[in-house]
Chains A and B, each alone.
Chain A
């Protein structure tokens, strides 16, 4: 069964304290892995798509990496405005739909 697990559930960081969020997945043929950011009361905002193991993508303080079993979202020197819930989703081959993890709620304190 296709499954996505994110850890930790919640993460509190001091401003400037770098860390990583994890997304482990089991899927019958990975078509793509997606990272989204969601602020309270809003829809998810697209961040990255990763397609194959070894791929990396960066955007400002965020860097996403992918292996055959998991993806990491690295946050370098976070700022309070990075506080949000980060969602990971996988798309299996031959299927349109995404399987979402339960998210990691990040809180960055000034």
Chain B
């Protein structure tokens, strides 16, 4: 139980294009989903928290207009990196929570912007 999937697992795109990453909770309903970014050999940096049907709460320093988050249902959240640039290249990981407790993480998406 508590399986979270992400799609795609990796993506390469040209600078200036937008990329959408999906996060799905496969066997439970997630009231809250989180999006993290992880740089090589560093820990997870929380980008935003989203609750189903409401606007995401972004962490300080994270551009809302650049990283668009939609939490359309209790099993799906999407992160869209708009007008991506090489500095947006990173490992993006989502997590899902059914209650206020444990977060279950997806396998991550490696984004490379050329």
Interface residues of A (CB under 8 A from B): 31-32, 34, 36, 41-46, 49, 87, 91, 96-98, 100-103
Contact = CB atoms under 8 A, between A and B. Distances in A.
Nearest to A34: B102
A43 B34 CA distance: 13
A61 to B, nearest CB: 21
Nearest to A43: B105
A100 B44 contact: yes
B108 A42 contact: yes
B63 interface: no
Interface of B: 2, 4, 6, 32, 34, 42-44, 46, 49, 91, 93, 95, 97, 100-108, 110
A49 B105 contact: no
Nearest to A49: B102
Contacts of B43: 87, 100-103
Contact of B34 (A41, A97, A102): A97
B31 to A, nearest CB: 9
A17 B37 CA distance: 34
Nearest to A99: B46
Contacts of B32: 96
A44 B105 contact: yes
Contact of B100 (A31, A41, A45, A87): A31
B105 A32 contact: no
